[in-house]
């Protein structure tokens, strides 16, 4: 069995990331200058990897994060299953202290196993995972040996838990920052974590 490699990145910085404004799936904010620089640095470090397939979410910040690969001749496929969780009424605006408390209460509920908790008009952790599972099954069976995936912070946490067969209450153990990398091996049955929240490429 060929060991297959999966490289999963969070998108580069946007202006809303810089300002601490929630984006979620409903705000399609492009990368800022720093985010574009992060994308270029990631490409510089990993351009020699022979990616068979590149996937992004349907949002521009993930697509811009792999733009140097596109410029070099790679194609990509976007899939809304990789979109960030919907944060509902919190998206696109600064949060008050009361809203931040509500946000952390939802995260606390997830950490305690209540995956149906959610922000008003947003998605729950269980709904997020449910839309990711069909894509993950496709990923396991598509036969590509080296895959790059660009996605989002909270979506990444759920995605990793599902790949590693862990409960969603483990989401918080998978930290993330802009243009960080998780690398996993897949042996046809199980995923193995190789790199976790790696940002060494950004220091080059």
pLDDT per residue as tens digits for the range 50-95 = 999 999 999 999 999 999 999 999 999 999 999 999 999 999 999 8
More confident residue, 1 or 128: 128
Q: Is 117 a residue whose pLDDT tops 80?
A: yes
Query: Which residues touch 78 (CB under 8 Å, ≥6 apart)?
Result: 55, 56, 57, 58, 62, 63
CA dihedral 126, 54, 27, 81 (to 10 degrees): -30
Q: Is 1 a residue whose pLDDT tops 80?
A: no
Task: Look at residue 176 in the predicted model and tell me its pLDDT.
Answer: 97
In the chain, where the domains are located: 4-203
pLDDT per residue as tens digits for the range 133-174 = 999 999 999 989 999 999 999 999 999 999 999 999 999 999
Region class of 60: left (phi > 0), else alpha (psi between -120 and 50), else beta: alpha
Query: Which residues touch 177 (CB under 8 Å, ≥6 apart)?
Result: 10, 197, 199
Provide, rounded to the nearest whole percent, the portion of the chain with pLDDT above 70: 100
Task: Look at residue 204 in the predicted model and tell me its pLDDT.
Answer: 81
* CA gyration radius, the chain: 16
CA dihedral 111, 112, 115, 119 (to 10 degrees): -70
Query: Regarding the domain with residue range 4-203, which homologous superfamily does it belong to in the CATH classification?
Result: Phosphoglycerate mutase-like (3.40.50.1240)
Average of pLDDT values for 21-35? 97
Task: Look at residue 3 in the predicted model and tell me its pLDDT.
Answer: 84
Q: Is 2 a residue whose pLDDT tops 80?
A: no
Task: Look at residue 147 in the predicted model and tell me its pLDDT.
Answer: 98
């Amino acid at each position: 069995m060929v060991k297959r490699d999966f490289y999963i990145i969070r998108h580069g910085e946007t202006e809303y990331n810089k300002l601490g404004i929630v984006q979620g799936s409903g705000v399609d904010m492009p990368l800022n200058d720093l985010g574009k620089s992060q994308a270029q640095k990631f490409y510089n470090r990993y351009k020699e990897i022979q990616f068979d397939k590149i996937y992004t979410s349907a949002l521009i910040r993930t697509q811009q994060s792999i733009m140097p690969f596109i410029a070099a001749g790679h194609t990509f496929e976007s899939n809304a299953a990789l979109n960030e969780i919907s944060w509902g009424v919190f998206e696109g605006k600064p949060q008050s202290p009361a809203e931040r408390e509500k946000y952390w209460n939802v995260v606390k509920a997830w950490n305690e196993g209540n995956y149906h908790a959610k922000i008003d008009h947003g998605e729950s952790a269980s709904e997020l995972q449910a839309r990711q599972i069909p894509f993950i099954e496709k990923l396991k069976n598509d036969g590509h040996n080296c895959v790059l995936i660009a996605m989002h912070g909270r979506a990444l946490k759920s995605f990793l838990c599902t790949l590693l067969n862990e409960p969603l209450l483990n989401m918080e153990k998978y930290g993330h920052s802009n243009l960080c990398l998780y690398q996993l091996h897949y042996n046809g049955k199980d995923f193995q974590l190789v790199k976790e929240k790696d940002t060494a490429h950004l220091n080059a």
